[in-house]
Amino acid sequence: MRLARACLLLPALRIPNYKECVAEKGHEACANLLPFFQWLYEHGFKPFLNAVAGSSYGMAYGHFRRDHSDPLNVWLHVGCLFLQIFGNFALLDCLDRTLGTRSVAPFTAAAWALALGRTPSPPSVRAFTIALLAVASRGCAALAPRDYYASLMLLTGPLELICYWLYLPDHNLKRPGAPWFCAALAARTAFCLFLRGHVGLLGVTPAVGAAGVVALLMVGSLVRSRNNLPLVSQFGSALWVPALLLDQPWVYFLSLSFMGAGLQGVAHEITRQKGTLNQLTDAGYELAHTSFFPVLTLQSLHHSSYGPFAATVAALGAHGDARSRRALGLRD
């Protein structure tokens, strides 16, 4: 409930522009404030925060479509979207079970549906987005993935290592070949099996464990790599380790959000299209990109399959620029 109250206060904050943050000495940390909230993507207030301090859907789609015009890239992002949505609502199911209620996940789904359903995207895209949120919310509650989260870790091992493979050059490390990848996967699997036999090894209380994880994420969100992404977005996939050490399933499901983001980078690497998020230098653009991601991805898929959607300039909002209008098939 404290998290919910904190999120309610967020729309009142003015998120500073990246250039404004770094212009004044001693305020460089302001530019890194947003990534800390981005890993909290599962809360339902983010789209409303974007409405106050972010950017328009037209601007967000202009940025997104520019870097996701290859159909293969779009389809790979759809797979990442499903992974992140699953992890999102599995985490919320853990929170609901901890609180002994069934309100957090449905509220988040409803909040997202309300915000994303009002975007100037094709009706079929909005309908599928809302249906996806509803199925994920109900499905995670029925399947209770927290009961077998340790087994899921074994299945996501190859995906995790692929994410690390992508980011190695950012740390002056050469990407290894297939033999090294197989050896790393075997070592990771063995370590995972060992921890499965010693779940909760640290023996700390859930509150202490959660505080430690949050502190780790805060530090990781304030340190950026050479490609302008926070370290937490590169190595957050490894949160399955503290999840087993603390016996906290929600920590593992949180790691899936970072894994999905890493796999999006892999998709860009495969299709040789630049990633969008690390090109954005305005906090409002970053917030819009991450807030609208489900419908951005599905509209880009629609765009690749059926051509541009005939939106209107008025629907784009005051912030829609010429590039955004062209991405939506408009002509000035």
For residue 176, CA distances in Å to 29, 79, 96, 139, 170 come to: 34, 25, 42, 38, 14
CA–CA dist 155, 159 (Å, integer): 8
**pLDDT tens digits, one per residue of 181-221:** 999 999 999 999 999 889 888 988 888 988 988 888 888 77
Binning pLDDT at 50, 70 and 90, where does residue 127 land? very high
In the numeric block, which tokens belong to residue 37?
């909230």
CA–CA dist 13, 2 (Å, integer): 17
Binning pLDDT at 50, 70 and 90, where does residue 4 land? very low
CA–CA dist 300, 69 (Å, integer): 8
Q: Is 205 left (phi over 0), alpha (psi -120 to 50) or beta?
A: beta
- Nearest CA among 293, 291, 231 for reference residue 262: 231
Domain residue extents for the chain: 2-327
**pLDDT tens digits, one per residue of 132-163:** 999 998 888 877 888 888 888 999 999 999 98
Q: What is the pLDDT of residue 192?
A: 92
Q: What would the mean pLDDT of 122-136 be, rounded to a whole number?
A: 93
Mapped onto helix, strand or coil, the DSSP state of residue 224 is strand
Burial class (CB in 10 A: 0-12, 13-18, 19+), 197: exposed
Q: Which amino acid is at 3?
A: L
Binning pLDDT at 50, 70 and 90, where does residue 298 land? very high
Binning pLDDT at 50, 70 and 90, where does residue 326 land? low
Other CB atoms within a 10 A radius of the CB of residue 76 amount to: 19
User: Model-level pTM greater than 0.85?
Assistant: no
Position with higher pLDDT, 50 vs 281: 50
**pLDDT tens digits, one per residue of 225-250:** 776 667 777 788 888 999 999 999 99
Mapped onto helix, strand or coil, the DSSP state of residue 230 is strand
Percent of the chain with pLDDT over 70: 78
In the numeric block, which tokens belong to residue 23?
């212009």
